[in-house]
Amino acid sequence: MADNARGATLLHDPRLNKGTAFPAEERQKLGLEGLLPPAVIPLELQVTRVHSEIDGLQDDLQKYLALSDLQARNERLFYAVLMSDPAKYIPLVYTPTVGEACQKFSGIFRATRGMYLPITARGRLQEILRNWPQSDVRFIVVTDGERILGLGDLGVDGMGIAIGKLALYTACAGVPPQYCLPVVLDVGTNNHALLEDPLYFGLRQERVRGEEYAAFVDEFVAVAQTLYPKTCIQWEDFANFNAVPILERYRDKICTYNDDIQGTAGIALAGVFAALRVTKQKLADQRFLFLGGGSAGSGIAELISQAMAMEGLSIDEARKRNALFDINGLIVSSRSDLTDFQKPFALDHAPVNTFVEAIKALKPTGIIGVSTVPKLFTRQVIEAMSALNERPIIFPYSNPTSRSECTAEEAYRWSDGRAIFASGSPFAPVEIMGRKFVPGQGNNIYIFPAMGMAVYATEATRVTEEMFIIAAKAVAEQVTEENLAAGLIYPPQSHILGASLHVAERVATYIYDKGLARAPRPGDVAALIRERAYRPAYEQE
């Protein structure tokens, strides 16, 4: 038994605890007799018991809390439960339930998990990070809590996102959980409801900006690289004006990526590739209009543009086929309020103030919503897209469900069943005109866990844009003709582990081909991925 843990100490270590599955000889050997009920219950029956417990709860937040308690008590059982029925449990441990959990995080706080790094500790981050019990960290998901999903500034309560994201690294792609570290950079919050809440456990100050903020992030990155030289840092839910420059500052220096920008772009591109299998068209012939001009919209637009360029367009021609529309209208070159990351997509076009008019003017083949504002894909919008396209591509990607630009039923009904639909949050199957549609969920879980597994297995030194294009193609090629006929343009979540390992193999092969791996290349990359994947099981001690 690792660390020579015994007795009650062993039962309180989630990585070592087996609960009622400890066999009789281990109970005697490890001082557990009397501390557990006498029956020995194997892992399979423990999973069945948890299923029954979760099914008995009526509220998704209660289910989230029960699973969180299980993760803090018995890590292997927690992952065995998630991996036994991912389609059922992923929405409970991540979107959409995690949004409500983050909104209430301080009030529902239980066992601590991850590292909280306040800006008041600037200059001491190395000392503090050394308190983390694992010396080998391969993945850090870090947030400053300013733009949690579509819910805004939640301060340190955004830790729920980092915890949930890393749970999916393991549950969806087999990244061993002991190598994962969730982190919150607490630089304050501008959410005054939180600042006035006596239960809020973050710094009670407004957000730090400018050079002091940048220096704090620099220190964090430098310390993480020093302590964990093989780590990959994933930036999560930073506000646009921080997310883009942070990624630009580090992407060519360390192994890092931003899932909101690049992972979202990857899953959107995967949906586009699958949709084109339905329309029988080329990517380079498409036009997309994005509702939302922030880092997610521009990130998707850029990755699609790069993929179009791989089909022969110049990058400038490709970017002109990906237009952004924000709160101030169509992003055109005459506007004076554009950010640097919006400017490559600014069109030489007269201003357009409504989204419907932008559709009529630009004639896109697909619309992609990343606005975090619900119901903006109105009936007029869907009907305008349907008038232009036999099979309009309609992707309302905003999370959580309450922020989706339209529902699956609205998209299918208003398009007379012709829409190729995918959303950021799950929607139930829809029956329109006697036909059943199974809406796809364009969830980043098809991208970032597989990316993590590829990076872990190869010990990659960088994460590049091309890796997300490779991942997108690998996701899309797993969608069957039967899936497409039902309206599903992503692999079923019930098969997420197999799908992720396939994507990880493709990305890992690219990493080796481009000389980005620190680990030696094996004879069989697919075998390496399968061999390195974590699968929850109790070993005999």
Query: Whose structure tokens read 């947030």?
Result: 143
Look up residue 457 and give its amino acid.
A
β-bridge mates for residue 322, sequence order:
288
d(C-alpha 314, C-alpha 318), whole Å: 6
Orientation angle between helical segments 496-513 and 159-173, nearest 10 degrees: 90
d(C-alpha 75, C-alpha 168), whole Å: 13
Which runs of consecutive H residues, i.e. helices, occur in 85-158?
A: 86-93, 97-103, 125-129
Catalytic residue among 64, 79, 89, 94: 94
Active site annotation includes 94 = yes
On whether the CB atoms of residues 404 and 453 are closer than 8 A, the answer is no
Catalytic residue among 18, 165, 230, 320: 165
d(C-alpha 116, C-alpha 89), whole Å: 26
Active site annotation includes 320 = no
d(C-alpha 206, C-alpha 104), whole Å: 19
What length is written for the chain? 541
* DSSP classification of residue 324: E
- Residue 493: closest CA among 445, 421, 434, 429: 445
d(C-alpha 408, C-alpha 369), whole Å: 13
Q: Is the dihedral of CA 124, 179, 400, 250 positive or negative?
A: positive
Three-state secondary-structure class, residue 390: coil
Report the 3 state secondary structure along 257-314.
EEHHHHHHHHHHHHHHHHHHHHHCCCHHHCCEEEECCCHHHHHHHHHHHHHHHCCCCC
On whether the CB atoms of residues 202 and 155 are closer than 8 A, the answer is yes
Q: What is the dihedral of CA 244, 246, 251, 253, to 10 degrees?
A: 160
Residues tagged active-site: 94, 165
